[in-house]
Chain A
Amino acid sequence: QLSLFRLTMKRLFSTSHSSVDSKEMKKFQLLAHKWWDEEGEYSALHSMNDIRVPFIRDTLLNMSSNYHLGNPLSGLKILDVGCGGGLLSEPLGRLGASVTGIDPLEDNIRTADQHKSFDPVLAKRIQYKSSSLEEIVEECMETFDVIVASEVVEHVADLEMFIKCCSQVLKPEGSLFITTINKTQLSYVLGIVVAEKIIGIVPEGTHEWEKFVPPEQLEHLLESNGFSVKTVNGMLYNPLWGSWSWMESTSINYAMHAVKSGAREQSSPTDALSELESEQHPATAGTAT
């Protein structure tokens, strides 16, 4: 309770608006110790690794020309936002990346730290920090090659600010991977009624349909904040086998890959135009701006 109080206080006194929703944090607090039980409350997230890790890995390999199949993500700095107990950070670390995992909930970070501590390779490659995304922006400007925000955007308070912060800490032409849930009738029936209330594969109350994000809205937000959306894929969970697969339709779960544009940070459109003009006529004197 003390850590929750401290975080709430931080929120009251912070000068900027936060993307962290304290109601959401309370829900995850109760399950902080259950992350690594492959058959427990988080089993669906464990099996999601079977499609989201290859998706991230293959997308990054296709964009790179210099890699070794024994260490495919070596040399990449990845930020795992809302890392929870480290379920996605660890496989990315095993594939060679340097991973920074952040989560606003201290108990989650504690669980993640303890779990990685037994593997000396992972302990070196992964760093966890109890923090929100805004809190690291200042010290991490354009630091990361890749950001993964998996099953996170449906829990944040201010999605546009979240995306702006992602853009700030991402290097130009860096990749952003998001997996989340669509806001449709189908996702209400399957994602909440069936998943939470009937079969119980997701702990009850985890998701609020109101906060689900349709891919069109997400794509629009990304494109208007300096990203170019490259891939959108629908995902389907089969509760019988406990496994995920890709599907055409994005009406329930989906994954998105976007790339931050390569140009420098631009503060306003007129400045951008003048920069362009001066680049085009460097030798011509007296070009007015």
Chain B
Amino acid sequence: TSAVMAAVCGRGLLAPLGGRLRVGPRAPLRSVAAAAAAPLYDVVVSGGGMVGSAMAAVLGHDIHFHDKKIALLEAGPRKEYDRMPDSYSNRVSSISPGSATLLSSFGAWDHVCSLRLKPFRRMQVWDACSEAMIVFEKDDLDDMGYIVENDVIMSALTKQLDAVADRVEVFYGSRAVGYTWPLPSHSCDTSPWVQIELADGRRLQTKLLIGADGHNSVVRKEAEIKNIEHRYDQSAVVATLHLSEATDNNVAWQRFLPTGPIALLPLSDTASSLVWSTSHEHASELLTMDEESFVDSINSAFWSNVNHSDFIDTAGAMFRSAISLLKPSGTAVRQLPPSIAKVDPESRAMFPLGMGHATEYVQHRVALIGDAAHRIHPLAGQGVNLGFGDIACLTHHLSAAAFNGSDLGSLKHLLKFETERQRHNVSLIAATDVLKRLYSTRLTPLVLLRTWGLQATNALPPVKVRI
């Protein structure tokens, strides 16, 4: 993984920018006159998912972008709800407090709160092969995070985009089919802007193109940015579950099975969302089996100790008593997750998992954010939070650039964004990858290693806080 880390990091500070500037046009250049007819935007965001929409909304609410023109391109239809349907959607995200802060900075969090969300105060993570576990909770009993349906977030973002409709133009049902990149700045007889061609033939020009079009990003491919990717031999099964009995339900549960982690994320006092990463075959089985067997599999996955071995249990117990001698408060009692009574019909679905990281996040007049730049395993619950982190960082740099009268597409400030975010994202993606591999085995030495590691981490406050 260190080789992966070395390979995924972008260029160093002293490397010349020249390598990022395109050498020649990739598509036949239209005449300047024809190009000049297409409307010119300051920023175009390609991709109207949670990250793309939030990016456009944040810029639209930024005071230094007051007089700028922004466009958002989304292939799908407009999504807005005044009231949520009674049943929960099976696609949910774990929103960190940092992401909630970003969303409230432009008024979207209020809408989320008025629709629905579930705060959680504790996170319990434990192993199937041993007694080892780690519990995360904030000292002051503050919320650790929030489980929110993706549809709720989208609805909130749509409302806030409407609020700045004079600055942000949203093109629904529009997909970009071609991009034409400008030549490097010193040859000045052709248009210096990025040309975008939509599926319906319309054309736009922009000073900065932000690619937020997901892990199969077209922007990234067309910009010829190398992507390091790896398909995991796992799929994630999602479903909406109903608990046997109502409870406070403010704990997020995750158990590492040898086949992959299973997580239960609270939605309400009586419902939780399932995210079960497992082999492709097992995932298909789970989808096709009848509802009763499905519920039994889930309960058994959380409660059964079939994977324990005496050796590991003894070794784990020894380590635990050693820790309790040194640090009496360092061992916590393992709680049991709530048992599941039934699953919402039609709520079962699966999707394949993978990991990816773009070697560059930026080029002249182009920036990638969200899954277009990095794709991560859901076991850390970080996917969309990384995207929101990208938005906070990029907005900071673009806002400063706008207040300095700079050309928004200039690599100078885009590279600052790239360096900051790669530094943050690479370590998290690599760590998640390591965790995924470490927990995918029954081999005794590795189980022992991770058992002791988990127990030690649970006992050490400084390490836990950093996580």
Contact = CB atoms under 8 A, between A and B. Distances in A.
Contact of B404 (A70, A91, A114, A120): A91
B412 interface: yes
B71 to A, nearest CB: 16
A38 B64 contact: no
A90 interface: yes
A28 interface: no
B66 interface: yes
B52 to A, nearest CB: 23
B412 A38 contact: yes
Given A50-B404, A57-B405, 18 more contacts: A36-B186, A37-B184, A38-B17, A38-B410, A38-B412, A39-B18, A40-B186, A49-B406, A54-B403, A68-B66, A69-B64, A69-B403, A70-B64, A92-B405, A93-B405, A94-B406, A96-B67, A111-B188
9 contacts: A33-B186, A37-B184, A53-B404, A54-B404, A71-B66, A91-B405, A114-B188, A118-B191, A118-B192
Interface of A: 33-34, 36-40, 47, 49-50, 53-54, 57, 68-72, 90-96, 111, 114-115, 118-120, 240-241
Nearest to B207: A119
B40 interface: yes
Nearest to A68: B66
B24 interface: no
Nearest to A97: B405
B405 A70 contact: no
A124 B403 CA distance: 20
Interface in B378-407: 402-407
Contacts of A54: 403-404
A91 B402 CA distance: 9
Contacts of B192: 118
Contacts of A93: 405
B16 interface: yes
Contacts of A47: 412
B406 A72 contact: no
A94 B408 CA distance: 11
Interface in B161-207: 184-186, 188-189, 191-193
A241 B403 contact: no
Contacts of B406: 49, 53, 91, 94
- The secondary structure that dominates the A interface is loop
Interface of B: 13-14, 16-18, 36, 40, 63-67, 184-186, 188-189, 191-193, 402-407, 410-412
A71 B36 CA distance: 25
Q: Which 10 A-B pairs have the closest CB atoms?
A: A70-B66, A91-B405, A37-B186, A94-B405, A95-B405, A69-B63, A36-B185, A53-B404, A70-B67, A71-B67
A49 B412 CA distance: 12
B188 A36 contact: yes
A71 B189 CA distance: 29
A53 B186 contact: no
Contacts of A94: 402, 405-406
Contacts of A40: 186
Contacts of A36: 185-186, 188
A96 B36 CA distance: 23
Given A70-B65, A70-B67, A240 B14 contact: yes
A69 B18 CA distance: 33
A38 B16 CA distance: 11
Nearest to A34: B186
A122 to B, nearest CB: 10
Contact of A241 (B13, B66, B407): B13
B281 to A, nearest CB: 54
Given A38-B410, A38-B412, A118-B193, A90 B66 contact: no
Contacts of B193: 118
Contacts of B16: 39
A96 B64 CA distance: 12
A50 B416 CA distance: 14
Contacts of A39: 16-18
A213 B17 CA distance: 34
Contacts of B65: 70
A68 B63 CA distance: 9
B415 to A, nearest CB: 12
Given A36-B188, A240-B14, A69 B66 contact: yes
Nearest to A46: B412
Contact of B188 (A68, A115, A241): A115
Contact of A90 (B184, B403, B405): B405
A70 B186 contact: no
A70 B164 CA distance: 14
A40 B193 CA distance: 20
A244 to B, nearest CB: 12
B440 to A, nearest CB: 44
Contact of B185 (A37, A91, A95, A241): A37
Given A54-B404, A69-B64, A120 B185 contact: no
Contacts of B191: 118
B330 to A, nearest CB: 46
Most buried by B among A71, A72, A94, A119: A94
Contacts of A38: 17, 185, 410-412
A146 to B, nearest CB: 14
